[in-house]
A and B are shown apart, each in its own frame.
Chain A
């Protein structure tokens, strides 16, 4: 109690000011930190199952190119990226889906009738994506597939 009695008007105002100031600083300061960090902490989920249409649309034995686009939002800006995959149906139920992105430097390969041909460094891949010639360090990447209600779907994890 003696301490309180010793507190003069000026001291009281100082303590009150410091107290209110701290509250205001915290109310504005803490949200400000969240405000600055916000986009950095946002996780964009890009993994999803993409339907490629009815399985019966794809002929058995010949690779068919399927193209689609994915939209990415960064703040107020949207970027649309196009992707291509080769659907290779081996028989009635078994199907493989390969990315058309060359594993060397990401150029787009195209099926020539006997191999996937890369236009950049003359690489070639066989029907199942294995490297036949050229610099690629790995076979064409294969997507995980599933068939739901006769619809072929691939698991897409790339941004």
Chain B
């Protein structure tokens, strides 16, 4: 029964082909360092899920942002868990993405024909850092407020266009409700969409080209 349903679906959706292409592809004999990309991907999914759950209670307004997060942490059942996973998962994702980049570089896996995989990876790392930067403001506590003040200030040191960049980042000359709202938008819409699209290209290339083997000593 289960087999026939699966067969019916497979005939129309090509599920087995997808499974074979994605999971049964040939890989060289590699080591644990090669799991960092998958680990980063897993953390991304974890961040997406916990992030969606946080938006159930979080309010991106200076009046309520801090109070709503206190409510999540102290009042909602398992709110501390969801927020905790999102908080620590964020740091962990940056660490894993960075380690994944180092592994790729040191094993020379970024070279032909994988340059585009590498380039999308660079933008993925930057977007991940952007997620960390924008998410840091959302609790709207003193730490968040001043970290973002300093962080956006740094952009202001760029010659000529610095002041303009600061204004664009903050939505005005100083940190305000507008800054919180645009950081929130960047954090839950713009950057996740960018990351999802880039992951799509990144994974397509990994599957299409295959992963590189561990370099030999004489190579």
Q: Which residues of A contact B (CB under 8 A)?
A: 28, 31-32, 34-39, 75-77
Given contacts A28-B49, A28-B85, A76-B59, contact A35 B77 (CB under 8 A): yes
In the bound assembly, the distance between CA atoms of A31 and B86 in angstroms comes to: 14
Contact A35 B68 (CB under 8 A): no
Contact with A along B35-60 (1 / 0, CB 8 A): 00000000000100100010011010
Contacts of A35 in B (CB 8 A): 53, 56, 76-79, 81-82
Range, interface on chain B: 10 to 19
Task: List 20 interface pairs A-B (beta carbons < 8 Å), by A numbering.
Answer: A31-B78, A32-B53, A32-B78, A32-B82, A35-B56, A35-B76, A35-B79, A35-B81, A35-B82, A36-B56, A37-B77, A38-B75, A38-B77, A38-B78, A38-B79, A75-B71, A75-B75, A76-B59, A76-B64, A76-B67
B78 to chain A, nearest CB (A): 4
Contacts of B141 in A (CB 8 A): none
Query: What residue of chain A has the Cβ atom nearest to residue B52's Cβ?
Result: A32
Given contacts A35-B76, A39-B76, 7 further A-B contacts (CB under 8 A): A31-B77, A34-B78, A35-B78, A35-B81, A35-B82, A38-B76, A77-B64
B85 to chain A, nearest CB (A): 7
B208 to chain A, nearest CB (A): 24
Contacts of A34 in B (CB 8 A): 77-78
In the bound assembly, the distance between CA atoms of A76 and B63 in angstroms comes to: 10
In the bound assembly, the distance between CA atoms of A21 and B56 in angstroms comes to: 25
Contacts of B82 in A (CB 8 A): 31-32, 35
Does chain A have a CB within 8 A of B70? yes
7 cross-chain pairs, A with B, having the tightest CB-CB distances, nearest first: A31-B78, A76-B67, A38-B77, A34-B77, A76-B71, A38-B76, A35-B78
In the bound assembly, the distance between CA atoms of A34 and B80 in angstroms comes to: 12
A76 to chain B, nearest CB (A): 4
Contacts of A32 in B (CB 8 A): 49, 53, 78, 82
Query: What residue of chain B has the Cβ atom nearest to residue A38's Cβ?
Result: B77
In the bound assembly, the distance between CA atoms of A36 and B77 in angstroms comes to: 8
Which residues 62-105 in B have Cβ within 8 Å of A in the complex?
A: 64, 67-68, 70-71, 75-79, 81-82, 85
In the bound assembly, the distance between CA atoms of A37 and B49 in angstroms comes to: 17
